[in-house]
Amino acid sequence: MLDKTPMQTLAERARAVLPAGGFGNFDPSVFIREGRGARVWDEDGNEYVDYLIGSGPMLLGHGHPEVLEVVVEQLPKGMTFFANNAAAVELAEEICRAVACAEQVRFLSSGGEADMYAMRLARAYTGRDKILKFEGGYHGMSAEAQMSLAPSRLVNFPQALPDSAGIPESVRGEMLIAPFNDPDYLESLLKEHGTDVAGIIVEPLQRIIPPAPGFLQAVRDLCDRYGIVLIFDEVVTGFRFAYGGAQEAYGVTPDLCTLGKIIGGGFPLAAVAGRKDIMDHFDKTIVGADRWLMMLGTLSGNPVAAVAGLKTMEILRRDGAYDTLRAHGERLQKMFSSHLDAADVAHRIVGHPTLFDIVFTDRDIRTYRDVLAADAKKGAAFNAVLRENGVFKSPGKLYPCLALTEADFELTETAILTAATAIA
């Protein structure tokens, strides 16, 4: 009998103590040992160019020396206090300078928490109950967010379908679902329900699907017409598309936004940011006990994440950082297109240079249902060959980072050529 590899042994151990053998995030057969720059190594010693980058936060690459320096300096001073600290105040100040909608900030530990509180804020502010989201939009793991995230059974809008067990049936009644990139349908839906809707939550770039020209502004205008709080989920796009996030890139300002990933520099940190009159609902002395929104978090705004986030954001402010990041993404997109075109494989590159994926279809992608209709088996086969050839990415996204080198691009292009040939 052949000896088991370290990852096979770890997988057995994990299955005994972890449901489904993992953390619920990624392929549970993969165990990453370390990351440096734009590379990661698994427990079997396999080396990859990393386009997962921790699902987005490691925009500078792994182990950036300047980030490590400030973290090592902070650690002996204290890791968390459950009290205010200066670094987190400075981080909040910088977010308010950078992000158009941000007049005040409240920190949390995860993007999912931030989205949950943003929806709750909208309800507290408006006194209404309903939340509208777009089919296929990801907003964390709350009961509201788990409605029509990835439905395999397509139903008529605006009916919501739960994506998880354990969600009360009553939650469905408070959720409205609309198709992304369809302002006409949204307008017709709000004519019927607009005065009941507290908030509309939207990813400005929905997973990888860009907004059609004018769509986000149409959503903004409809929110203004009906007194609805507009929430941009910028957990992924914040400080990635531009220093001011997707609201800077697209020129549309929401009432609230949620942030995560990059603002913690690789440590658990997220935030709700927005207009002061809405954020006032976190302050009992202003709104009173009946309208106050309670929020507690043991690690919210912890100083280690705050100093890591501050240093990350300082590096992103340096000349050329975003030009370089976009250039990296555009170079990768051209690699995928040229080799798949040469292999005569129908595909679309969908997304933004800083966040995109390859969808195997011959039709343009505007909604979740367009992605669902694509050739998922071909996509899985393509991703499998990429990983076998040293490219590490998620099944549905590819994140470039600033640490990519010429050697990383060369390895990636070889892997793309091999994968395109394999699925042709």
Task: Say how many Å lie between the first and final Cα of the chain, rounded.
Answer: 36
CA gap 354, 59 in Å, rounded: 10
CA gap 385, 415 in Å, rounded: 7
The answer to whether the peptide bond before residue 204 is cis (omega within 30 degrees of 0) is: no
Give yes or no: 77 in active site.
Answer: no
CA distances from 301 to 198, 382, 399 (A): 27, 40, 26
Q: Which position among 42, 115, 182, 233 bears the catalytic label?
A: 233
Could you identify the residue written with the tokens 């697209």? 250
Give yes or no: 393 in active site.
Answer: no
CA distances from 251 to 99, 117, 166, 214, 310 (A): 11, 24, 39, 10, 25
Strand partners, 32: 42
Give yes or no: 138 in active site.
Answer: yes
Q: Which position among 48, 51, 125, 138 bears the catalytic label?
A: 138
DSSP string, 99-143: -TT-SEEEEES-HHHHHHHHHHHHHHHH---EEEEETT----SST
- Provide the CA 103 distance to its chain's centre, in angstroms: 22
Joined together, the tokens standing for residue 103 give 């007049």
By annotation, the residues acting in catalysis are 138, 233, 261
